[in-house]
Structure 1
Amino acid sequence: MFYINRSRPTKNGDCPINMRITINGQSLAMFTKRYVQPEVWDGKLGMCKGKTSEALEVNRYMEAFKANAYNKYADLNALYDQATPELLRDAILCVNTSKSKTLCTVWEDHTHDLKLLIGKETSYANYQKYCTALKWMKQFLLEEYRVHDVPIKLINRQMVVKFEVFLRTKKMCNYNTTIKYLQNFKRIVMIGFKNGWLKINPFADFKLTLREVDRPYLTEKELQNIMDLEIMIPRLELVRDLFVFSCFSGLAYADLFKLKASEIECDPKGVLWIRTRRQKTKVKAQIPLLNVPTFIIEKYTDLSILKAEEKVLPVISNQKLNAYLKEIQTLIGLEKSLTFHVARHTFATTVTMMNGVPIESVSRMLGHKDIKSTQHYARIVDTKIGNDMTDLALKMGSRLSFPKAAASV
């Protein structure tokens, strides 16, 4: 309905004409960009009285305004399960919020926000994962549906299943990689679900559980071979030293990259400690440094002259670091695939657990939120279990045995 706002007249006495939109009991008013003198306005009919050219022009304008509103309302009903007065107003005014939210647009907005939060609440690696997942989604939509984007309200369980098949077959992703991309997809879908752009959660009964995988680590001999390797190329020497530092500290790449002077303290015994918060989990990690990592720090910097915010080690990009590790792998003839994260696994197994460090202490040094994460490493340390049982057998001797078994011994 149309009415005039008598409380907001102009200097010459004209009153603005407003249109009230009411949908399912919810209403709001919007300005029609027209004014009229109060005496020519018919409040009951919601239009101008008389046959003057001015009155006829205003009435024609309002009829067109109303027809446009009904057309926009029909369009909104095709895009949304429930149109609202706010959506209709924005559609009439051609404001973007009245447009249907699309999957790739919401995804791009999310990755843009992640990029701004790198180093604060997220990592560059996490940002990259969302970008890659978005790239695969766009390719999937083009191949499967012949479109570049889809309204987020149209996402259903069938699309989730098809995207999973696409990742496993067309992109040749393994199970866990596929699950991680689906987790990225779910994150975007939940943004739409929580904002009301999507009425049914297509992931409601979709389990995204990662499978347990073997965590590669170096044996003591393999680690020593890397440390003994004579390297004449400075870039490879740096990479070897950074890798070994992580083997003896357990720092992930992101935590080593951001390690600054203020995060290293010296206790009364002269032992250096790393006290930091993990980039990934924000959990505090406290690690006493052994001789090897202490030597590496002293090789590249002087802590006494570093400012609090200055980085301790000259860490290069993760991509280059892993590429150069492949060269070191070839030089020592190592059959295992050498990546920087192998160093963290080596710290958890070969350096600590196999040498009797309690799992609780290892968990604290690794900065795990839950000790269950550390128990994954405990399951693969078969050598330690064997040694422990051998020691137990020696301690017990024949104290607990059947008489016949003791006699035979």
Structure 2
Amino acid sequence: MYILFWFRKSEAKEEVMLRKQYPDYDTLGNICCKVTLEGESVQMGYVHIECRKSVWDAEQQRIIGSDAKIRNHNKRLDEVRIKIERIFSLLQIEFEYVSADMVKDYVTEKKMFRYTITQLCTEYFKDRQLDVKNKLIVQATVDVQENYSRNFLNYLEQEKLLKRPPRSFDETILSGFKTYLLDTNNFSYPHTYKHLVWFKSLFKHSLDKKRIKVNPVEECGIGSDNTKPDTTHLTVEQLSKLACFDFYDLAKRGFITEQTAKKCDLERDAFVFNCFSGMHHCDYTNKAFRIEKYRVDTFLKGSRQKTEKEFMVKLLEPALHVLSKYGGEIKNLPVKSNQKRNDTLKQIAVLVGIPVVISTKIARKTFTDIALNELMMEIKDVVACLGLKNDRYLEHYGRIREKRLAVKMSMSWNDIMKSA
């Protein structure tokens, strides 16, 4: 199949007159699309782009220029091409023979596909990848949603529901998927709730893209995630004990091997560093951050992978000690996958005697608690350190404790009366 975009002169009276009057007139026109398949050509029609003939590059199939309007026009051309190619691919799967006229009928939505639920998921993630390319979302978001999709399709396969048409999906399937996640997979309610939100967004998106005629689950309720945010963190005493713990002493006394001591020492350092930097595990692992001096202080600065928001934080002594231990070089800081790191951190908690199931998330929450309740930092400043877009989700990282309020509300009623 060959897709051609071409310039068609405007037939408006004024344009026709100007072309006759001035042979070199830069006429106005519209970009049209034509599809050729096995020697058969069909006009797809206008793509709703108007431009001057001088800026149309027929060879490159692009509009020349770099301003915002032209970028949007060229983006539109890419979208049309992608749409035609995707529909052609689906038609090849659906039919033994595909003609140019068939492609036009489906592209112009004169005819509609009968998508399977698997195809809806596939098309959904093709759209999500385009969003990543256009920097509307990050790849990490798509990766999480793909995991939701896998669990959803596994449930449908187990229940022999994969061949059911999407229009027949109802609250029974939604409820069954919820039970499957909670009971069979032992997922937490918040994690299950996120699956259900994605389930509904899949059908809404499919309706918006006209892959289905109606949204059968639009009125299906999924409740709300009323669970209290988990702000588990290490206390100052626990963090201090962990930072100073000597794993090699345990090895000398025969409690653990030298290899285990080395592994725990490395992972403890990475964890402690993040307790004072507040970084997410993926940002720490990518090492897309830098160390800068400001007067006598040392700052860590970077950009969050998920939100693309800048963050910065002043490093306190324990973090500086860890950095110094690895030659003051970011590249030398120990790195391991999230799962392997969490496995080791659980072992560390037992060895050190800390009654908390430690994970990489606990480091970020510990930083938040220290910032709010020990350093008494303002909420907007903590948001800046964490690289959040706003304070909406700060409650998932930390909460205001009595210690902060005792300091903030240090005046007695007598003090208030005196000042009045």
TM-score normalised by length of structure 2: 0.63
Match of residue 100, structure 1, among 67, 90, 114: 114
Using the TM superposition, name which of 132-141 and 340-349 deviates more: 132-141
Cα 1:228–1:295 shift into 2, 3 Å: closer
Runs of at least 5 residues in structure 2 that lack an aligned partner in the other structure = 1-33, 41-90, 249-260
Question: Aligned AA for 2:269?
Answer: D
Match of residue 136, structure 1, among 151, 155, 166: 151
State yes or no: 1:243 paired with 2:259.
Answer: no
Report the equivalent of 2:291.
Answer: 264
Match of residue 360, structure 1, among 361, 380, 386: 380
Report the equivalent of 2:237.
Answer: 221
Question: Aligned AA for 2:278?
Answer: G
Cα 1:123–1:333 shift into 2, 3 Å: farther
TM-superposed deviation, 1:259: 2.1
Q: How many angstroms apart in 2 are the aligned matches of 1:178 and 1:301?
A: 44
Cα offsets for 1:300-332 (capped at 9, x unmatched): 2444xx8xxxx4633211111101001101102
Q: How many angstroms apart in 2 are the aligned matches of 1:100 and 1:260?
A: 45
For residue 281 of structure 1, give the secondary structure of its aligned residue in structure 2: coil
Q: How many angstroms apart in 2 are the aligned matches of 1:352 and 1:29?
A: 61
Cα offsets for 1:16-57 (capped at 9, x unmatched): xxxxxxxxxxxx9999999xxxxxxxxxxxxxxxxxxxxxxx
> What does 1:118-129 align with in structure 2 at a 5 Å threshold?
121-124=137-140, 126-129=141-144
TM-superposed deviation, 1:168: 2.5
> What does 1:71-110 align with in structure 2 at a 5 Å threshold?
89-90=102-103, 100-108=114-122, 110=124
Match of residue 281, structure 2, among 248, 253, 258: 253
TM-superposed deviation, 1:298: 2.5
Contact 2:281 / 2:338 at 8 angstroms: preserved in 1?
Answer: yes
Contact 1:104 / 1:134 at 8 angstroms: preserved in 2?
Answer: no
For residue 248 of structure 1, give the secondary structure of its aligned residue in structure 2: helix
Report the equivalent of 2:206.
Answer: 192
| Paired residue total | 309
Match of residue 286, structure 1, among 271, 293, 312: 312
Contact 2:124 / 2:206 at 8 angstroms: preserved in 1?
Answer: no
TM-superposed deviation, 1:114: 6.6
* Structure having the higher Rg: 1
Question: Aligned AA for 1:216?
Answer: T
Contact 2:233 / 2:362 at 8 angstroms: preserved in 1?
Answer: yes
Question: Aligned AA for 2:236?
Answer: E
Using the TM superposition, name which of 247-256 and 131-140 deviates more: 131-140
Cα 1:33–1:245 shift into 2, 3 Å: closer
Q: How many angstroms apart in 1 are the aligned matches of 2:169 and 2:380?
A: 44
Report the equivalent of 1:166.
Answer: 180
Report the equivalent of 2:6.
Answer: none
Q: How many angstroms apart in 2 are the aligned matches of 1:266 and 1:30?
A: 61
Contact 2:37 / 2:99 at 8 angstroms: preserved in 1?
Answer: no
For the aligned residue pairs, the C-alpha RMSD in angstroms reads 3.9
> What does 1:342-353 align with in structure 2 at a 5 Å threshold?
342-353=362-373
TM-superposed deviation, 1:127: 4.8
> What does 1:21-100 align with in structure 2 at a 5 Å threshold?
89-90=102-103, 100=114
TM-score normalised by length of structure 1: 0.64
Cα 1:29–1:246 shift into 2, 3 Å: closer
Q: How many angstroms apart in 2 are the aligned matches of 1:283 and 1:294?
A: 24
Using the TM superposition, name which of 285-294 and 319-328 deviates more: 285-294
Cα offsets for 1:112-151 (capped at 9, x unmatched): 7878969x85355x4553343233222322343x233443
Report the equivalent of 1:385.
Answer: 405
Cα 1:87–1:339 shift into 2, 3 Å: farther
Question: Aligned AA for 2:411?
Answer: L
Question: Aligned AA for 2:349?
Answer: Q
TM-superposed deviation, 1:371: 1.7
Contact 1:360 / 1:371 at 8 angstroms: preserved in 2?
Answer: yes
Report the equivalent of 1:295.
Answer: 321
Question: Aligned AA for 1:252?
Answer: H
Report the equivalent of 2:391.
Answer: 371
Q: How many angstroms apart in 2 are the aligned matches of 1:123 and 1:288?
A: 29
Q: How many angstroms apart in 2 are the aligned matches of 1:208 and 1:398?
A: 48
Q: How many angstroms apart in 2 are the aligned matches of 1:346 and 1:29?
A: 59
Cα offsets for 1:330-362 (capped at 9, x unmatched): 102222211111111111113443221122211
TM-superposed deviation, 1:397: 5.6
Contact 1:164 / 1:178 at 8 angstroms: preserved in 2?
Answer: yes
